[in-house]
A and B are shown apart, each in its own frame.
Chain A
Amino acid sequence: MPRNHPSLWHPPRLSTRFVAVWLRNLLVWRKLALPSLVGNIAEPLIWLVAFGYGMGALVGTVAVPLPGGQTQTVPYLVFLASGSLCMSAMNAATFEALYSAFSRMHVQKTWDGILNAPVTLDDIVLAEMLWAAFKALFTVTVILGVMLALGISHSPKLALAWLVLGLTGVTFASLALIFNALAKGYDFFTYYFTLFLTPMMFVSGVFFPREQLPEWVQTASAALPLTHAVQLVRPLFLDRWPTDAALHLAALAGTAVVAFWLALALTRRRFAG
Chain B
Amino acid sequence: MQTDLFQVEGLGKRYGGRPVVEDLSFSIGTGECVGLLGPNGAGKTTTLRMALGLIPPDAGRIRILGHTMPADAATIKARLGVVAQFDTLDPDFTCAENLLVYGRYFGLRGAALRPRIAELLEFAALAHKANARPGELSGGMRRRLSLARALVNDPDLLLLDEPTTGLDPQARHLMWERLQRLLQQGKSILLTTHFMDEAERLCHRLVIIDHGRKIAEGAPRELIAQHLEPEVVEVYAEQGADAAAVHTLLGPAVGALAQRIETSGETVFFYTQDARPLLAQLSQRPRLRMLHRPANLEDLFLKLTGRQIRSEG
Interface residues of A (CB under 8 A from B): 2, 4-6, 15, 17, 20-21, 23-24, 27-28, 31-32, 108-110, 112-120, 271-273
Contact = CB atoms under 8 A, between A and B. Distances in A.
B74 A120 contact: yes
Interface stretch (B98-106, B173-181, B303-311): B98-106
Contact of A110 (B74, B90, B97): B90
Contact residues of A: prevailing secondary structure: loop
Interface stretch (B28-36, B55-63, B116-124, B193-201): B55-63
A20 B152 CA distance: 15
Contacts of A17: 105, 107
B77 A117 contact: yes
Contacts of A112: 84, 88
A117 B105 contact: yes
Contacts of A24: 90, 101, 104
In the A-B complex, the 10 residue pairs with the smallest Cβ-Cβ separation, listed nearest first, are A113-B88, A117-B105, A20-B104, A116-B82, A118-B77, A118-B74, A109-B88, A28-B92, A2-B58, A118-B78
A220 to B, nearest CB: 40
Interface in B47-106: 52, 54-59, 70, 73-75, 77-78, 80, 82, 84, 86, 88-93, 97, 101-102, 104-106
A119 B102 CA distance: 11
Contact of A4 (B56, B75, B77, B88): B56
Nearest to A121: B54
Nearest to B100: A27
B45 to A, nearest CB: 12
Interface of B: 52, 54-59, 70, 73-75, 77-78, 80, 82, 84, 86, 88-93, 97, 101-102, 104-107, 149-150, 153
Contact of B90 (A4, A5, A28, A115): A28
Nearest to B79: A118
Contacts of B105: 17, 20-21, 114, 117-119
B59 A116 contact: no
A4 B92 contact: no
A271 B70 CA distance: 15
A20 B90 CA distance: 14
Most buried by B among A108, A117, A119, A120: A117
B182 to A, nearest CB: 17
A20 B100 CA distance: 11
Nearest to B80: A116
Nearest to B75: A118
A196 B76 CA distance: 43
Contact of B56 (A6, A27, A31, A114): A6
B86 A109 contact: yes
A116 to B, nearest CB: 4
Contacts of A119: 105
B78 A31 contact: no
B158 to A, nearest CB: 11
A32 B56 contact: no
Contacts of B97: 27
B275 to A, nearest CB: 47
Contacts of A4: 56-57, 70
B247 to A, nearest CB: 47
A27 B89 CA distance: 15
